[in-house]
Structure 1
Amino acid sequence: MGSDSLSEESPERRFRTLFISDVHLGARGSQADRLLDFLRSHDADTIYLVGDIVDGWALKSNWYWPQTHNDFVQKMLRKARKGAKVIYVPGNHDEFLRKYYGTHFGGIDVVENTVHAGADGKRYLVIHGDIFDLVVQNARWLAHLGDKAYDFAIQMNRFVNFFRKMFGVPYWSLSQWAKLKVKKAVNYIGAFEATLAGEARRHGCDGVICGHIHYATIHDEHGIRYMNCGDWVESCTALAEHEDGRFEIITWTDPVRSAAPVPRVTARAA
């Protein structure tokens, strides 16, 4: 939907709030080009960057910073200069920014976590979520090992989709399919969601908005509204809040640029 000639001043869809997480700028698997395309036709008064926007882990091992990654940074800075409220909640891959809580970079606020006041009057804890991931916190070497395996899966996924595109078959995620077939991965997702829901309750909130596991969803299964933004590595999803307080997940993976709500997407403990 939309065209390349659309400017960021005249988006087709404008929301009260957009939540974007797990872009992983600096990693070869980042689909920053798709995110830039998404932002040409989607905008909001407030934008939350819910962690792992920059992949410091990847940059340390192999410097990779194409123009599209720089373009995304510049776009966020321009939005902040033009009056948008941009809030950055660092994750584990961009943990170097955790030294700067309470500071402002070009109009972007860096915070440990925050509470978003919804249009419907409900309060939502906004947090990346990695501090509740025992794999990352207690077995850091294992998390890095999993990160390498994930990168391999992404490369295989691109190979598969190259041929799917040749035959006119829609985009499909190999790693999404594989993980959702593994019982341990499914159990991990459920435990992560339940833990984050509990943290929202401790903050006196009605819900939680997070990222980290690359698994976009909106549900109330744990007695509280749980919303995960997904990622911009394979699923290419963002969480949007409408002016009436309604939330939806938008996916941006198809060449035809369809914007539609999606259920669950994928998982990654990284």
Structure 2
Amino acid sequence: MAKREVDIVIISDVHLGTYGCHAKELLKYLKSIKPKMLILNGDIIDIWQFSKSYWPEAHMKVVRRILKFVTEGIPVYYLTGNHDEMLRKFTDFDLGTFQLLNKIVLNIDGKKAWIFHGDVFDVTMQHSKWLAKLGAVGYDTLILINSFTNWLLTAMGRQKMSFSQKVKAKFKDAVKFINAFEQTAADLAVQKEYSYVICGHIHHAEIREVQSTEGTGSVLYLNSGDWVESLTSLEYHNKEWKIFTYTPEAFHTDNDEEDLTDAEDLDAKLDVNKLLERFRQEAE
């Protein structure tokens, strides 16, 4: 099956190593594309909740697929987030076409793009990290309960539901937080004279023009969403941005044989387990 060519793909908030992560769906998506550049915009591996007892094969396959892009010479930028902040001590680490950074500025067809995770705007993260981590555990528990509930609903032929999205919808503060996040990012980007500001963190995919608070200009704000609930990414191709949303109907098959070939190819070029173990040791 021919892969879909994309100039730039940006994903964030995958949370590998947690029950809420939709690794199988992400793997199918990554297999379907041929990007010229891949940007991982934070919270890809959830080191906050990382457990050696929960690291399914599908999660490893996602890592292998990403590293396969590296072995193919595709630039892969891993920008750190709050859930993988332990990796910040490895900032500027590079391996072939793979680079680990906190943020990046790219020239995209003559326009400057400022790309970073976005947790720097989160007051809870900056001042009450323990509270943020507690909230993350609660969120993952909610996702786990939601997964079981949806399994029952599917078995009964009923439509799936999202607990956390319903919770967010009940609270106006959640909407205010998203709006404030987007406005803050836009204001700073306008000051720095960027054309695009691209974030993750808030699990809310978006592409929209945002005016600065002072009315001095505007910027295109983009957010890649997440692979816990929304299952979205940002794609740039032929000078246009769009939000990609995963749907099961569009991905009927999964080639396990291709996974085995990938694993053999990577093992010959890179010891993936040693690389992951190095990061694990730093996290403990």
> TM tier, shorter chain?
0.7 to 0.9
Q: Which amino acid aligns with 2:250?
A: R
Instruction: State how 1:47-66 maps to structure 2 within 5 Å.
Output: 47-59=38-50, 63-66=53-56
1:141 aligns with 2:130: yes
Which residue number corresponds to residue 114 of structure 1? Answer: 104
1:130 aligns with 2:119: yes
Which residue number corresponds to residue 276 of structure 2? Answer: none
1:229 aligns with 2:211: no
Tell me if structure 1 keeps the 8 A contact 2:186–2:210.
no
1:190 aligns with 2:184: no
| SS at 1:59 equivalent | coil
Q: Residues 134, 173 of structure 1: CA spacing in aligned structure 2 closer, same or farther, 3 A cutoff?
A: same
Distance 1:183 1:199 in 2: 25
Shift of 1:168: 4.2
Distance 1:239 1:214 in 2: 13
Instruction: State how 1:1-270 maps to structure 2 within 5 Å.
Output: 6=1, 10-11=2-3, 13-59=4-50, 63-119=53-109, 121-222=110-211, 223-242=218-237, 244-252=238-246, 254-257=247-250
Q: Deviations over 1:61-103 (max 9, x none)?
A: x642111111111111111111211011010111111112222
Q: Residues 63, 105 of structure 1: CA spacing in aligned structure 2 closer, same or farther, 3 A cutoff?
A: farther
Which residue number corresponds to residue 267 of structure 1? Answer: none
CA RMSD of superposed structures (Å):
1.7
Distance 2:163 2:114 in 1: 32
Shift of 1:199: 2.5
Q: Deviations over 1:16-53 (max 9, x none)?
A: 00001011111121111110011121231000000001
Structure of higher CA gyration radius:
2
Distance 2:149 2:33 in 1: 29
Distance 2:53 2:48 in 1: 10
Q: Which amino acid aligns with 1:204?
A: E
Shift of 1:169: 4.5
Tell me if structure 2 keeps the 8 A contact 1:16–1:46.
yes
More deviation, 28-37/172-181: 172-181
Tell me if structure 1 keeps the 8 A contact 2:45–2:83.
yes
Q: Which amino acid aligns with 1:39?
A: L
Length, aligned pairs only: 245
Q: Which amino acid aligns with 1:248?
A: K
Distance 2:158 2:196 in 1: 37
Which residue number corresponds to residue 267 of structure 2? Answer: none
More deviation, 206-215/157-166: 157-166
Tell me if structure 1 keeps the 8 A contact 2:19–2:143.
no
Gaps of at least 5 residues in structure 2 are: 212-217, 252-284
| SS at 2:26 equivalent | helix
Tell me if structure 2 keeps the 8 A contact 1:26–1:63.
no
Distance 1:54 1:66 in 2: 13
Tell me if structure 2 keeps the 8 A contact 1:215–1:231.
yes
Identity, % of aligned positions: 40
Shift of 1:191: 0.9
Which residue number corresponds to residue 266 of structure 1? Answer: none
Shift of 1:170: 4.8
Distance 1:41 1:94 in 2: 26
